[in-house]
Structure 1
Amino acid sequence: MTTLNLDDFSDLIERPDNGVRRDAEERRERLSVPAGAFGRLDELAEWLAAAQGRVPVRPVEQPRVVLFAADHGIAAAGVSGRPAGGAHALVRAVLDGASPVSVLAGRFGASVRVVDAGLDCDPGMLPEDVVRHRVRRGSGRIDVEDALTREEAEAAVRLGVRIADEEADSGTDLVVLGDLSVGGTTVAAVLVAALCGTDASVVTGRGGVPIDDLAWMRKCAAIRDALRRARPVLGDQLALLAAVGGADLAAITGFLLQCAVRRTPVVLDGVVSAACGLVAQRAAFRAPDWWLAGQASGEPAQAKALDRMALNPLLSHGVTVGEGTGALLALPLVQAAAALAAELPERAEEPQPEEPQPEEPARKD
């Protein structure tokens, strides 16, 4: 197997078709509803048309929620509102239909796929189709040790690439991307702080299950210590994911890059997917053109990452539950934008008044 170099994705990723986007804009001006009346829905429809490479845009018919699951060793430092090693309970809730994302996906017509990249549990606790992709069990505690070996980081990125190919080949026309993790927001904050050159306090949030002030201070200290380990490897994205990432974040990074290669649009959820997007942007600067930011979760690291990628969230409802829920809430907006652009009739052309014909001069007998 050849050594993986994330920078190679830069040559494989093209921007969505700007010519198609212009055609979509021109068609929008001819629709029966005045241009601008749908606000940002017009922009969404034009973006989706460019991603699909066609006008009129196709309605979104096969959306898919893809959730990467893992446990992070840093959770043992008391930085999370959930128990360390407890991400398998989140997965079980999704599979049993007892999680917010399961309820909403059923309502919005989206199927859900869970990929175990690095859960810290016995594989027998979950179905084979979930656990068969696992790169390793849990990850290292990033304030004092590497999350992964370089070989594991490469395997996780390749896993994400493989999942992206499977989704594209199966006909998925829009991905809603999320994570199921314990300790993931801490890891994501480290990546964002490292890539944006900011201090730990600037990116430290309260997490999906809000933590108290003491836990916030522990989280801030853990991010500060992990940053010291991240900065020496900033020039190598794979080394960065191995040092202070995790199997799920490395897999999501590979997934985002390959979705851009395969021209599959993606809606990002919270801080974890935003941090992975930032890593992917470092490797391939055109990749963010294929993504939408579903929501503003209120996590400061997410806001920093989205600003760096010039992605404007579709929603700002303060949804912190994670698990792809915030991004899934944005799905009906994208579906509505596509349906309106595809199905509204164009205005009938008004008949032009006939030009008066010059009168013939009177004949003289």
Structure 2
Amino acid sequence: MGSVPVEILQAVDAIGQPDLDWAARAASRQSCLTMPPGSLGRLLELGRQLASLQRTDRPVGEPSLVAVFAADHGVAASGVSAYPSEVTGQMVANYLHGGAAVNVLARRAGAAIRVVNLGVASLPKDLVGHDQLEAHPIASGTRNFLLEPAMTREQAFQSVRVGLQLAEQWTGHDGYRVVALGEMGIGNTTSSSALLAALTKSPVDRVVGRGTGLDDEGYLRKCRVIDEALAIHGPKFVDVWDLLSRLGGFEILGLAGLALGAARNRALVVLDGLISTVAGLIAVRLCPSIKGFLVASHVGPEPGHRIALAEIGITPLLDLGLRLGEGTGAVLALPLIASAADLLREMATFDSAGISGPS
């Protein structure tokens, strides 16, 4: 059994706690702003969180980036998705051409997009060498975990390392202060649901949803596949890395690494739907102190999403019935996060505006 690479251990050790002194200073400033106490609700909480990460009572909520990590899943061969696996590569092309929902929403929010290939099985030929595609394939998709472990332990480590390295580039060198986690991979709700069931010991029927739109037969098949996989692999788990390698996806573990790396650089990490939130839960299991760097953008109809959020212990900002993934919900939260920072920096105080404060 391979030991955890030093690079991962050092990254985890380097993640500090949010600075509560700065959160308190931000709260003190908020109490002087021209509004009744607490009247901007969750925006004030977001502002204090940003202050605690950036160690200032004048934080910023930009620049922001949405990272879409893509990879295929061997378990898709077991009929757990309404779409064929080649859609993963086709959607990667759509992201690069600017035509997906996340592209539209990111343009509106003023967020940059980075698309990463962690293991797309059928990548369109015209995307090979594309200058806007970050190519870090671990393999041509995972293996079918109904038959064997999804990946080797080393591949699990490698997936997380890719996320760490990209986080260092984006939040260290490039200066992004907010990172939204997006994903694409046919079959990844099955992998995420299996991971969630194993990590939380939740019954399969409580965490499994219909994903991309399964009918009743497909939904029951998906539940059976996960039940059988847990029966096969569950007795063999020796540690969390063994669990992740048996049931995980390259893009899911890559996002967990990205979250860890972004937190190391004290950037805010915005979770999206089920898959992204399970990646956040994995990051929390690897480094509990990362919780204070996470924001839940929304809660969707996938039943496991609420369970994952509750396990992390964070409350979503929005409830819009979203179940697309890609980072769409996370991008919708970006203007709220930027607004929370703007209020701390730009809003007048009672004294500066010459307004009588509360008696």
Q: What TM bracket, shorter-length normalisation?
A: over 0.9
C-alpha distance in structure 2 between counterparts of 1:230 and 1:298, whole Å: 28
CA 1:37–1:3: 2 relative to 1, 3 Å: closer
TM-score norm. by structure 1 comes to 0.91
The CA deviation string for residues 124-160 of structure 1, in whole angstroms up to 9 with x for no partner, is 3412542521111111111111111122211111111
- Equivalent positions of 1:1-365 (< 5 A) are 3-4=4-5, 9-58=11-60, 60-122=61-123, 124-126=125-127, 127-130=130-133, 132-168=135-171, 169-207=173-211, 209-232=212-235, 234-348=237-351
Q: What is the Cα-based RMSD across aligned positions, in Å?
A: 2.0
The CA deviation string for residues 30-70 of structure 1, in whole angstroms up to 9 with x for no partner, is 01122211111111111111111111222x23110101001
Deviation at 1:194, TM superposition (A): 0.4
Tell me the amino acid that sits aligned with residue 339 of structure 2.
A
Tell me the amino acid that sits aligned with residue 170 of structure 2.
E
C-alpha distance in structure 1 between counterparts of 2:45 and 2:342, whole Å: 13
Q: Where does residue 363 of structure 1 map in the other structure?
A: none
The CA deviation string for residues 278-324 of structure 1, in whole angstroms up to 9 with x for no partner, is 22211111112101011101111111111011110110001111110
Tell me the amino acid that sits aligned with residue 18 of structure 2.
P
Contact 2:96 2:133 (C-alpha < 8 Å) held by counterparts: no
Q: Where does residue 362 of structure 1 map in the other structure?
A: none
Tell me the amino acid that sits aligned with residue 142 of structure 2.
S
The CA deviation string for residues 70-127 of structure 1, in whole angstroms up to 9 with x for no partner, is 1111111111122123201111111112111101111110010000001012473412
Deviation at 1:351, TM superposition (A): 11
CA 1:3–1:123: 2 relative to 1, 3 Å: farther
Q: Secondary structure at the match of 1:157?
A: helix
Contact 2:299 2:318 (C-alpha < 8 Å) held by counterparts: yes
Aligned residues: 350
Deviation at 1:164, TM superposition (A): 0.7
Tell me the amino acid that sits aligned with residue 66 of structure 2.
V
Identity, in percent, stands at: 36
Contact 2:192 2:278 (C-alpha < 8 Å) held by counterparts: yes
C-alpha distance in structure 2 between counterparts of 1:7 and 1:63, whole Å: 27
Tell me the amino acid that sits aligned with residue 116 of structure 1.
N
Contact 1:296 1:315 (C-alpha < 8 Å) held by counterparts: yes
The CA deviation string for residues 242-296 of structure 1, in whole angstroms up to 9 with x for no partner, is 1110211121121111222221111001111111122221111111210101110
Deviation at 1:18, TM superposition (A): 0.3
Contact 2:89 2:123 (C-alpha < 8 Å) held by counterparts: no
Q: Secondary structure at the match of 1:340?
A: helix
Pick which of 19-28 and 68-77 moved more: 68-77
Pick which of 75-84 and 291-300 moved more: 75-84
C-alpha distance in structure 1 between counterparts of 2:132 and 2:242, whole Å: 29
Q: Secondary structure at the match of 1:286?
A: helix
Pick which of 231-240 and 190-199 moved more: 231-240
Contact 2:197 2:204 (C-alpha < 8 Å) held by counterparts: yes
Deviation at 1:233, TM superposition (A): 5.2
Tell me the amino acid that sits aligned with residue 279 of structure 1.
I
Pick which of 127-136 and 60-69 moved more: 127-136
Contact 1:200 1:224 (C-alpha < 8 Å) held by counterparts: yes
Unaligned 5+ runs, structure 2? none
CA 1:47–1:234: 2 relative to 1, 3 Å: farther
Contact 1:194 1:234 (C-alpha < 8 Å) held by counterparts: no
Larger Rg over CA atoms: 1
4+ long deviations beyond 4 Å: 5-10, 349-352
CA 1:105–1:275: 2 relative to 1, 3 Å: same
C-alpha distance in structure 2 between counterparts of 1:128 and 1:56, whole Å: 36
C-alpha distance in structure 1 between counterparts of 2:176 and 2:319, whole Å: 26
Contact 2:90 2:123 (C-alpha < 8 Å) held by counterparts: no
